[in-house]
Amino acid sequence: MTDVIRTTVRITVNGREIDVTPGELLIEAAEQAGEYIPRFCYHPRMDPVGMCRMCLVEIDGPRGATLQPACYIHVNDGMSVVTNSEKVKKAQDGVLEFLLANHPLDCPVCDKGGECPLQDQTLAHGSGETRFIEEKRHFVKPIEIGELVLLDRERCIQCARCTRFSDEIAGDTEIAFSGRGDAIEVAPSPDRPFNSVFSGNTVQICPVGALTAKPYRFSARPWDLEQVESTCTTCAVGCRIAVQSSGNRLTRVLGVDSDPVNQGWLCDKGRFTLDSIDQNPTSSNVLDESTRIDSPMIRINGVLEPVSWGEALEAAATLLRHATGHSVGAIGGASLTNEGAFAWERFVRGVLISENLDAQFDDGLDPILLQGLAKATINDAVNAKTVVTLSGDLREELPILFLRLRQSIVRNGHALVEFAFGPSALRPVARVSLAVRPGEMHLAARAIADGSDAPTGVAFRNEQLDEVRQLIGDTGDGVVFVVGRANLAEDPRVLENAIRRLAARYSDATFLVALRRSNVVGALDMGLSPGLRPGRGFDPRAKGRSTREQLAALRSGEQKVLLVLGGNVLGNVLDTNGARQALEVADVIAVTGHGGPTLAYANVVLPVAVTHERTGTVTNIEGRVTAVTPKIVAPGSAWPDVAIAAELAALLGENLGLESVEHTAHAIEATTGYPALSVMNDEVFDGTVVGAKGAPSLRHALDPMAVPGIRSTESVGIASYVGATMVADSPRGALVASATLADLANDDVLDVPPADAYALRLVVSRRLYDHGVAMQGSPALANLVDPPSLSLHRVDLDRLGVPSGTVVDVTGAHGTLPLPVVLDDGVCVGTGVIAFGSLTLAGDDVVATLVDFDSVFSQVRLETR
Amino acid sequence: MAVLDAPRIVSSRAQFADSYTLSRYLATGGYVALRKALTMFPEQVAAEVDKASLLGRGGAGFPAGRKWSMLRKSPISYLVVNGDESEPATFKDHFLVESDPHQLVEGVIIAAYSLQVSQAFIYIRGEFALGLERVQQAVNDAYAQGALGSKIFGSDFSLDIVVHPGAGAYICGEETALIEGLEGKRGFPRIKPPFFPAVTGLYGEPTVVNNVETMSNLPWIVNNGGEAFAALGAGRSTGTRLFALAGRVVNPGVYEIEMVKNTFRDLIYDPKLGGGITGDHKLKAIIPGGVSAPWFGPEMLDLPLGQDEVGEKGSMLGSGSVVVMDETSCVVRVAWRITKFFARESCGQCTPCREGSGWIERAMYRLEHGGGRMEDMDLLLDLCDNIAPGLSWPPQQTTICVLGSSIPSSVHSAIAMFPDDFREHVLHGGCPHD
């Protein structure tokens, strides 16, 4: 006989009996029953601390009714609670009065004014006059505690939201309390400024104006802002955001609490790079990445000149009319919406009759392999008892995925196994870190999968392999592998081989694809890669050129015309010198919203609307399709991608049949079953995961005080989801067939050359603060980009015999560069790590100079000067 | 007349100049109790402590035996000794760690044996430099003679003791803040539930936290039996207790006297104890159990010094500190100084304590130094009420720990007992005693 497990307990709130979930916090249970208990320090995504004491309510106990904080008392059966008695009111009013005693009340000059929980509570419940006649506490105000965040300690109410976030969620220790009594203050670390890549979250959750963000400070008043809910496309996690503008000027991005994705958090790159979209009206140099392209252009006498859409489209059509399927191709597309990607896919395959298209820049993974893997969601990874990463440093590549995984490890004690090719922010919480040098990833995977010993010469150890096998179990049940491109200087087949091994061996394991570039998953799902088809489909007979192969074909003259989707080829490929040679001889049509060095080679430039200016859907790393919503109007005469593709097709005598973004979304869903229009029309769910079997996750009704800044006691903007129903479910076709692992060519035997014992194997990794368009166009973040360096392990630095920071000559495949060597014990012995996109002071591209693009891995030699 | 025929249980050696040395300790019956305890079952030792009905000597007076019995069964558990005595006018643990550190260490080993824990910590207020030195020496001596370390005195029981200095925060005397401090964190008291460290304590493991004086009683209890201890005192208050007598008395100091058998009058006036008020002045008020306790007037002089006896009259025996004020004492100044202490020592977590203590301190400062207003008395009482609603005893709490509800005691007592003194301060524009 099985016991009946009770799923609810009954409590009494203000005389009314309600059924609640056992163990739930009283503050949550009461709120669901319609009794809002005021609070400042409580935040649903962090452990309660009971510091502000605003949520005191009367709870019946053995000693009669006593005042207890609702934020950390768990409900139990029969609990009787009063939230509205005179005693409760006096206690809460008392707390409010105490909070205001030392508060400067400088609301007229405070950024938080108008959306401040303290201000709202005071207006709603506070006394009109103060009884506090003493001198208030004084601090220097405000102080800069990091590049992006300022702290006004006079306004602080010591709720510990910021310090808890840093410690508990982000794992940073850069801010903490110091002092005591009413002289207690949040203080930055004496050693390190508050430059956490998550620093902006502390500003968003600050319930007063104590923490302010430099990019937003004094730029707007909350009541002047309008907002829409959208999805961040800075990386591929797909964080839900509220995008705010004042008129047609973007002012602020706030994290929205999407339970399966970002849970309210954002990284600073996603939050603070709005300037790259709308703050550079004065810049007119089209080679500058911060410049917005606001007019079509064609090259006349060697110079790009603004022209009308008609002239530009005709010029593009002319180039394309002379091309055949083999002599034309498209590169890019990860920055597009799914609808934009679908339109261009129709254009390239249907109008140009070409299979040469690739949304990746030879910096990702084989999309056919990725299609064949059993997919995991972010929640699957967070809930997995063991997570295995074969990816870059997730904090640098997919910051919010890092946050979610870190919490599952720290809070729930889940195990993390790292294939550790270089520094990783998750290293301190990893159960096992297998040191894998370039050319060894597949060896580690093979040893684990086959139960064999570590081959000689590798850096990982047998006892580590044993532990990993134990953590993965026999079939990989409950295990999630996080797979992304770890080392850009290594032939991706090494990593792909490792993934295939593991997928074949552990049939119950699932895979979370950790590709990082904005909507790259959506672009691939829309077919922007040779062999792929829209709707995550696959055609094994189709053969086309990848990005790298197209650039080679352009150099050899086999391909003549290149359509660049999203503009920035030179900022994204590894072999910039090879790409330059290709662009030099090609006819280039660039469809882009931003300038950049690629435009030096463009014959025709077609301006598009970029993020926050366009509507549509995007797909994140887990295959979750969500809507993006325009907040401002694109500058000048920029068009949506769908319109450009359709007009260009019309000039070439074809009808794409796509009249609008909505129409395109309808076409995607109707022809492939891939969620698109249904997502755009949906106000109930947190997006739709492609092919997911479980019930979709409901959107959160935003807690007014949990996410201060979005709503305070009054709602602004974002519609209430309660009671909303799904609108106009579009006809959805059956999902098309995807690739399986059996579709892969059998190249299991990988020929890895021996390493040179006197050289270092090179690792090229991604950094969050890079040289991309978003960072380049955002002056506030400019100082956060690290100068180029080569990171070494202590052993190798000692062998070199120079202190950290010394400039040495680094010789790679294509030349020698001066680079400072920097100590980093996260680096494997015998390897050196450089960041992608680094340029030396002399302007040399570090990756292009050092990496051997034809080898399985690259090596460098160091020489002291 | 004072009843002074009870044995000195914890202060017997203090009469010797070398009371803190191992040789004196061994010469006066030291480590006999531990050897005896090791021949008993751990449960038998606990049973003796239960029989003794030893109430915790840290302030709350929770029965030590019951606290031990609440220790959650777990492969790892800890014993932590609280020697962070930091309250103004409380100095009995200070006396013990300096005068008889071996007795403390032996008590800790006995307790650890009874609880079957293998790691104990003695947390001593950082400012007790001499006490820290002597307790550390006592621990070293214990290791050297086989009373600590593995297989103590040849038994199967092993124990390590770490002596840990506090870093200057009164709040770390609160047991959960002390535990946080031991863990290397900021000394913030933990939220309750979990209500007892015996369930979730140091490093999340079950932990017994006992006071220095409580531990120091154990060798005597093991030697003489719990019943002999319980035969002293009366009611729930058994044994003897150290009282730290301070203020306007002829002989301030630490006195060990039998519980309940003596009254405040005995303690203050007996020639062998306090010796009366200085300068033949008249008693004005008593703080009966440390500065957290509500005050008594002269009418309570004949109240017996027992936990429940004092509790029933609306105050507490608390930390064993008794402060005497006469008519030359300024009660406004005393209340202000006490509030200033709490305002400085509030950890800063809970709003009512953090902001309330500072506000009350500043208002009290005005009253004492000029700038007081008649309406300040009502304001102060209302602020006190917002920290400890109802101003009843035992106090209701709005804060995580009892530091918050300790703040109102002195201010409330001073205003309630001596409103004229406050009015005088307001009319005089400052302290009339200056």
Tell me the pLDDT tens digit for each residue of A746-779: 666 678 888 888 899 999 999 999 988 888 888 8
Q: CA B303 to CA B313: how far, in whole Å? A: 9
Question: What residues contact residue B377 under an 8 Å CB cut-off, 6+ apart?
Answer: B415, B419, B422
Task: Note the pLDDT of residue B256.
Answer: 98
Chain centre distance of CA A317: 36
* Chain A interface mutation, best of B339, B342, B345, B354, highest count of A Cβ atoms under 10 Å: B354
Give the contacts of B330 (CB within 8 A, at least 6 positions apart).
B368, B421, B431, B432, B433
Contacts of A248 (CB under 8 A, 6+ apart): A278, A632, A633
Measure Cα distances from A402 to A148, A398, A425, A772 in Å. Answer: 21, 7, 8, 21
Band of pLDDT at residue A732, cut at 50, 70 and 90: low
Are B191 and A49 a contacting pair at CB < 8 A?
yes
Element (H, E) at A826: none
Q: Which of A53, A69, A180 is opposite residue B169, by nearest beta carbon?
A: A180
Q: What is the pLDDT of residue A322?
A: 86
pLDDT of residue A10: 94
> How close is the nearest chain B Cα to the Cα of A171, in Å?
15
- Nearest residue on chain A to B361, alpha-carbon basis: A134
Q: What is the DSSP string of B126-152?
A: TT-HHHHHHHHHHHHHHHHTTSSBSSG
Q: What is the pLDDT of residue A5?
A: 63
**Closest Cα in chain A, distance from residue B347 (Å):** 5
Q: How far apart are CA A506 and CA B89, in angstroms?
A: 69
Residues of A with CB below 8 A from B383's CB?
Answer: 94
Question: Which pLDDT belongs to residue A222?
Answer: 86
How far apart are the CA of B205 and the nearest CA of chain A, in angstroms?
17
Query: Could you write out the three-class secondary structure of A68-110?
Result: EECCCCECCCCCEEECCCHHHHHHHHHHHHHHHHCCCCCHHHC
* Chain B residues touching A132 at Cβ < 8 A: 359
pLDDT at A727: 34
Whether the CB-CB separation of B264 and B302 falls below 8 Å is answered with yes
Q: Would you call B351 and A54 a contact, using CB atoms and an 8 Å cutoff?
A: yes
B280: left (phi over 0), alpha (psi -120 to 50) or beta: left
Helix (H, G, I), strand (E, B), or coil: what is residue B237?
strand
Check A50 against B348: CB less than 8 A apart. no
Least CB–CB distance from A182: residue in B193, B354, B386: B354
Interface predicted TM-score of the whole assembly (ipTM), two decimals:
0.96
What pLDDT, in 10s, does the model give residues B363-406?
999 999 999 999 999 999 999 999 999 999 999 999 999 999 99
CATH top class, domain A367-513: alpha beta
Q: Do B386 and A177 touch (CB under 8 A)?
A: no
From B396's Cα to the closest Cα of chain A, the distance in A is 7
Closest CA to A490 of A791, A826, A856, A108: A856
In CATH, A9-100 is 2.60.120.260: no
Residue A756: per-residue pLDDT: 86
Average pLDDT over residues A129-150: 95
**What are the start-end ranges of the E strands in B259-378?**
283-287, 321-326
- The burial of A854, by beta-carbon neighbours within 10 Å (0-12 exposed, 13-18 middle, 19 or more buried), is given as exposed
Give the helix/strand (H/E) hosting B95: helix B92-99
- Contact flag B386-A95 (C-beta cutoff 8 Å): yes
d(CA B353, CA B398): 9
Interface check B345 vs A, CB under 8 A: yes
Across the interface, whether the CB atoms of B349 and A51 are under 8 A apart is answered yes
CA distance to partner chain B, nearest, from residue A48 (Å): 9
Q: Is B364 part of the contact surface with chain A (CB cutoff 8 Å)?
A: no
Of all residues in chain A, what percent are helix, strand and coil, respectively (each to 5)? 30, 20, 50
Chain B residue at shortest CA distance from A87: B389
pLDDT for the residue numbered A713? 35
Copy the structure tokens of residue B105. Answer: 């260490």
Q: Do A575 and A776 form a contact (C-beta atoms < 8 A)? A: no
pLDDT of residue A783: 86
CATH 3.30.720.200 fits A131-277, yes or no: no
Beta bridge partners of B151: none
Contact, A67 vs A98, CB < 8 A?
A: no
What does the pLDDT average to over A400-421? 96
Cα dist. B388→A82, A180, B48, B308, B399 in Å?
Answer: 18, 21, 38, 22, 9
Which stretches within B199-306 are classed as H helix?
Answer: 212-216, 218-224, 226-230, 264-269
The pLDDT of residue A282 is 61
Tokens of B312: 């029933």
Contact A131 B379 (CB under 8 A): yes
Topology annotation, domain A297-361+520-611+634-660: Rossmann fold (3.40.50)
Between CA B8 and CA B258 the distance in angstroms is: 9
Chain A residues in contact with B379 by the CB 8 A cut-off are 131
Mention every residue, 6+ apart, whose C-beta is less than 8 A from residue A629. A228, A229, A230, A243, A615
The identity of residue B217, as a single letter, is: N
Q: Please give the pLDDT value at position A75.
A: 95
Which residue in the set B171, B352, B362 is minimally distant from A94, CB to CB?
Answer: B352
Cα(A417)–Cα(B105) distance, rounded to whole angstroms? 45
List domains and CATH numbers for chain B: 12-229 (3.40.50.11540), 232-326 (3.10.20.600), 331-428 (1.20.1440.230)
Give the span between the Cα atoms of B411 and B379, in whole angstroms: 11
Q: Are strands A56-61 and A64-69 parallel, antiparallel or unpaired?
A: antiparallel
Output the pLDDT for position B133. Answer: 98
pLDDT greater than 70 at residue B191: yes
| Distances, alpha carbon B187 to alpha carbons A189, B194, B206, B347, B407, in Å | 18, 17, 19, 7, 19
Statement: residue A262 has pLDDT above 90: yes
For residue A51, which residues of chain B lie inside 8 Å, CB to CB?
Answer: 349-351, 400
Spatial CA neighbour of B406 closest among B363, B347, B327, B362: B347
- For chain A, the structural domain boundaries read 9-100, 131-277, 297-361+520-611+634-660, 367-513, 760-864
Per-residue confidence band for A722, with pLDDT thresholds at 50, 70 and 90: very low
* Chain B nearest CA to A666, separation (Å): 54
Q: Which of A25, A53, A103, A208 to mutate to test the interface with B (most CBs of B within 10 A)?
A: A53
Q: What is the pTM of this model?
A: 0.94
The hierarchical CATH code for the domain A760-864 is 2.40.40.20
Residues of A in contact with B354 (CB under 8 A): 98, 158, 181-182, 184
Model confidence pLDDT, tens digit, residues A814-833: 999 999 999 999 999 999 99
Q: For residues A736 and B360, what is the distance between their CA atoms, to the nearest angstrom? A: 73
Looking at CA atoms only, how far is residue A531 from chain B in angstroms?
56
Q: Name the residue among B344, B328, B337, B352 with its Cα closest to residue B401.
A: B352
Q: How confident is the model at residue A724 (pLDDT cuts 50, 70, 90)?
A: very low
Tell me whether residues A134 and B191 touch, CB distance under 8 A.
Answer: no
Q: Which residues contact A259 (CB under 8 A, 6 or more apart)?
A: A686, A697, A698, A700
The owner of tokens 């560069």 is A817
Residue-wise pLDDT tens digits, A445-501: 999 999 999 999 999 999 999 999 999 999 999 999 999 999 999 999 999 999 999
Contact criterion met (CB < 8 Å) for A101 and B346? no
Give me A100's structure tokens.
Answer: 């205001």
Q: How far is B381 from chain A (nearest CA, A)?
A: 12
- Which residue of B lies nearest to A64 if distances are taken between CA atoms? B396
Q: Report phi then psi at B387, rounded to 5.
A: -90, -45
Mean pLDDT of B110-136: 98
Closest-CA residue of chain A to B404:
A181
- Residues on chain B touching A135 (C-beta within 8 angstroms): 362
Contact indicator for B172, B179 with CB cutoff of 8 Å: no
Q: How far is A143 from chain B (nearest CA, A)?
A: 21
For residue A417, give the amino acid letter: V
- Weakest mean pLDDT among A47-56, A108-117, A414-423: A108-117
Taking only the tens place, the pLDDT of each residue in A277-322 is 987 656 789 999 889 999 999 999 999 999 999 999 999 999 999 8
The answer to whether the Cβ–Cβ distance between B348 and A54 falls below 8 Å is no
Q: B residues 92-111 near A, CB within 8 Å?
A: none
B359/A134 Cβ within 8 A = yes
Distance CA A32, CA A20 (A): 9
User: In Å, how far are A395, B243, B305, B319, B323 from B313, measured between CA atoms?
Assistant: 61, 19, 12, 17, 17
Q: Which of B171, B193, B352 is nearest residue A95 as measured by Cβ atoms?
A: B352
A and B: number of Cβ contacts within 8 A: 106
CB–CB contact B191 A48 (8 Å): yes
Contacts of B363 in chain A (CB under 8 A): 134
| Surface-to-core class of residue A568, CB atoms within 10 Å of its CB (0-12 exposed, 13-18 middle, 19+ buried) | buried
Q: Quick: pLDDT tens for A506-526.
A: 999 999 999 999 999 999 999
CA B362 to chain A, closest CA, distance in angstroms equals 7
